[in-house]
Amino acid sequence: MKIGRYLGDRKILTVVLLISFTLIGLTSMTVINGNSLNTGKNTDKSLNEQGEVNASTPVAVNVLIYGGEGVIPGSVDGIKDCLDYVNSENIDLNVYFNYSTIEEINSQTLSGCDILIMPGGLGITYINNPEINAEDLKNFVKNGNGYVGICAGAYAASKHVDGDYDGWGIAPDINSKPVDYVGSLTISMTSSGENILSLQNFSNFSGQKTRGFLSTGDSVTMYHWNGPAMYKTDGSNDSLAMYASNETGYQNYAAIAADTYGSGRVVLSGPHPELSPTKPEMLASMILWAAKKI
């Protein structure tokens, strides 16, 4: 069974995954603000601009996390864990993630959100799920909102998964190659990745640069569960991070990639920033860039 790509028995899958995530040290988290989204704050300005307007009020980012059919429960919990960490530690940013989980994706559930996160799971199940309205999802991004896809969420959003199926195409310039590898691996930051994934380009509300944690060429260890190796449809490998070694069979292919769809921004990650060893700052950077907050 290939997590991220193939449809399997839901009950068996859930048991296996829950046991597996226990073994790698994941814990379930309590949802905060789980039933409501704060849509009253002005989210049209960048963090810097909003900080100049009101230095005492955190910038609200309204995040919707998919938690329906085909998803890995541990991935959803890991995303919440990362957002809770950033909210509590604040990572030198006056930003607060309001998040909610949903099992259906349509224009109504997406209303009022800045960004949708599709966690790890089964990409083909996402594509075939009648509870996910693909046109509403594409319009959500096309109209200027953000999308972050992790593992299965990356497969599903890409234009095509080689040898398998067509994705939603909200990353129209990115194709995915299926990978069969579970375990830790290293990725290497590109200059594009440094610009998007590093906190060194953020400013806090005093106008000072925050600490950076990623630079071009830096190696980062992340957990991987059959996530895609990605490449541009024009054959180039421009990306945010590359697979630094050959555990996947696709060394130097994109491990993390960014694209645009209409007026929206998309970030796709093969590895899991939300699973141990977690990378909450990296996930926060993905969200903030895709949501146009930086």
Residues 6+ apart with CB under 8 A from 24: 223, 275, 276
Q: Residue 237: what pLDDT? A: 62
CA atoms of 182 and 276, how far apart (whole Å): 13
The upper half-sphere exposure of residue 227, i.e. CA atoms within 13 Å in the direction of its Cβ, equals: 33
Q: Residue 215: what pLDDT? A: 62
Q: Residue 172: what pLDDT? A: 95
> How far is CA 130 from its chain centroid?
22
| C-beta separation of 35 from 100 below 8 A | yes
Dihedral angle sign, alpha carbons of residues 117, 119, 125, 130: negative
CA atoms of 185 and 183, how far apart (whole Å): 7
Q: If you count them, how many residues does the chain have?
A: 294
Q: Residue 193: what pLDDT? A: 85
Task: Report the predicted TM-score, pTM, of the whole model to 2 decimal places.
Answer: 0.79
Helical residues (DSSP H) of the chain, grouped into ranges: 10-23, 47-53, 73-89, 107-110, 123-128, 134-142, 152-157, 191-197, 280-290
Residues 6+ apart with CB under 8 A from 69: 10, 103, 125, 129, 131
Q: Residue 54: what pLDDT? A: 42
Residue 268, H or E segment: strand 264-269
- Per residue in 234-260, is it b (16+ CB within 10 Å) or e — as a string? eeeeebbbbbbeebbebeebbbbbbbe
Q: Which residues pair with 264 in a beta bridge?
A: 261
* Beta-sheet pairing, 59-66 with 95-102: parallel
Question: 217, 221, 204: which is closest to 282 by C-alpha?
Answer: 221
Mean pLDDT split into 10-residue runs, the chain, 294 residues: 42 40 38 30 37 58 97 97 87 81 97 97 97 98 98 98 96 96 94 73 38 65 96 80 95 95 97 94 91 86
Q: Residue 33: what pLDDT? A: 31
Q: Residue 95: what pLDDT? A: 82
